[in-house]
């Protein structure tokens, strides 16, 4: 199994390497790929020092699998070149997510849609992944009508420049700005760029991607995405209106029995999900499960996950594991 990690020097790329090692993914040859300015840089993996190579050399090497986390423009240009060389690409950018010819995959939900013919597979947005992990089993039981979600997203979702901005501001250092305003002791209702409809791209990803993953457009989602000064982990306040009524104990039972989901929901002991406890974990955590007392058949929840792991690297590698286990490579 020859595997290329494209964007290996970035934040998500580094976590991908960590997760590949942790999960003992079957690699016989690892290609570490990045932009020209990083070519020749040495990265340690599993006790070996590996030199970073460029994209053209990586395509020529014809890996079995290429896991991309190098930005949408890079994916649009290079993923088809890898695919044409026979490589299966799992792409973590937004480039292919809404392409009707490409599958958008959360393995626990819809990996069974994958075939050998799928040479470019899209990894969903980080906030989408943790949202649909909770919504999917409840939708199957109660049928969603409308979802209102507000996110509280870590600076790590923006990248290393944003993490550095937060660290500088906390230390009182004037430095390069990833955001138009300070992020320390602040909250920015501004994730990604604004669109003509007044929503940001991040908010529209949350509105559209779950419908594609669940292959169902009978429900609607309205989102507000906010960046907060946490170093890692995204949180979501979610209000869901269902067609059918529910019992809270059954909701908890359904979620407790969902692989990859951990219920943390006991107000008596102050037990609820928080980013600080989701850090470096692959599960999606849900709590504050309660009925909306203002509207019929409506539920409130609080959802937290590590955005660099299940929200990005781990989900991509779980897709790769499914391909290997089902002989689709």
List the catalytic residue out of 126, 139, 190, 279. 126
- Furthest CA-CA distance within the chain: 60
Residues in the chain: 329
- Helix ranges, 97-200 (H): 107-110, 126-142, 160-171
Q: Using the 8-state DSSP alphabet, how is residue 53 labeled?
A: B
Q: How far is the CA of 220 from the CAs of 167, 204, 260, in angstroms? A: 37, 11, 24
- In contact, 42 and 50? CB cutoff 8 Å: yes
User: What whole-number distance in Å separates Cα of residue 262 and Cα of residue 278?
Assistant: 10
Strands of 103-104's sheet, edge to edge?
29-33, 2-6, 65-68, 88-91, 120-122, 103-104
Tokens of 176: 């390069």
- Helix ranges, 152-308 (H): 160-171, 201-213, 248-256, 275-278
- Quick check: is 279 catalytic? no
User: What whole-number distance in Å separates Cα of residue 181 and Cα of residue 165?
Assistant: 10
User: What whole-number distance in Å separates Cα of residue 229 and Cα of residue 315?
Assistant: 24
Scan for tokens 């990833």, then name that residue.
178
- In contact, 184 and 229? CB cutoff 8 Å: yes
List the catalytic residue out of 190, 191, 234, 279. 234
User: What whole-number distance in Å separates Cα of residue 27 and Cα of residue 120?
Assistant: 20
E strand intervals along 24-82? 29-33, 42-45, 48-51, 65-68
Burial class (CB in 10 A: 0-12, 13-18, 19+), 301: buried
- Quick check: is 190 catalytic? no
Residues that are catalytic: 126, 234
């Amino acid at each position: 199994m020859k595997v290329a990690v494209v964007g290996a020097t970035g934040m998500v790329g580094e976590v991908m390497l960590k997760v590949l090692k942790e999960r003992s993914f079957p690699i016989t040859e690892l290609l570490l790929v990045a932009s020209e300015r990083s070519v020749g840089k040495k990265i340690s993996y599993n006790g070996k020092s590996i030199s970073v190579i460029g994209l053209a050399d990586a395509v020529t090497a014809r890996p079995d699998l290429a896991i991309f986390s190098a930005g949408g423009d890079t994916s649009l240009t290079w993923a088809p070149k890898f695919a044409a060389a026979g490589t299966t690409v799992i792409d973590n950018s937004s480039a292919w997510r809404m392409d009707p010819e490409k599958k958008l995959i959360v393995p626990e939900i819809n990996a069974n849609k994958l075939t050998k013919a799928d040479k470019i597979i899209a990894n969903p947005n980080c906030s989408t992944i943790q949202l649909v992990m909770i919504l999917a089993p409840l939708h199957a039981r109660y049928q969603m009508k409308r979802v209102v979600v507000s996110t509280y997203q870590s600076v790590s979702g923006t990248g290393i420049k944003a993490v550095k901005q937060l660290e500088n501001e906390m230390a009182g250092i004037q430095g390069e700005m990833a955001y138009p305003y300070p992020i320390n002791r602040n909250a920015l209702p501004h994730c990604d760029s604004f669109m003509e409809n007044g929503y940001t791209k991040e908010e529209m990803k949350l509105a559209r991607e779950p419908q594609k993953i669940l292959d169902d457009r009978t429900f609607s989602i309205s989102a507000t995405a906010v960046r907060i000064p946490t170093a890692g982990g995204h949180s979501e306040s979610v209000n869901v209106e269902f067609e059918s009524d529910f019992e809270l104990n059954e909701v908890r039972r359904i979620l407790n029995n969902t692989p990859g989901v951990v219920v943390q929901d006991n107000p008596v002991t102050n037990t609820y999900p928080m980013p600080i406890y989701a850090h470096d974990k692959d599960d999606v955590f849900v709590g504050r499960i309660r009925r909306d007392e203002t509207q019929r058949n409506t539920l409130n929840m609080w959802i937290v996950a590590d955005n660099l792991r299940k929200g990005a690297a781990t989900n991509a590698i779980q897709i790769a594991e499914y391909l290997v286990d089902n002989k689709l490579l």
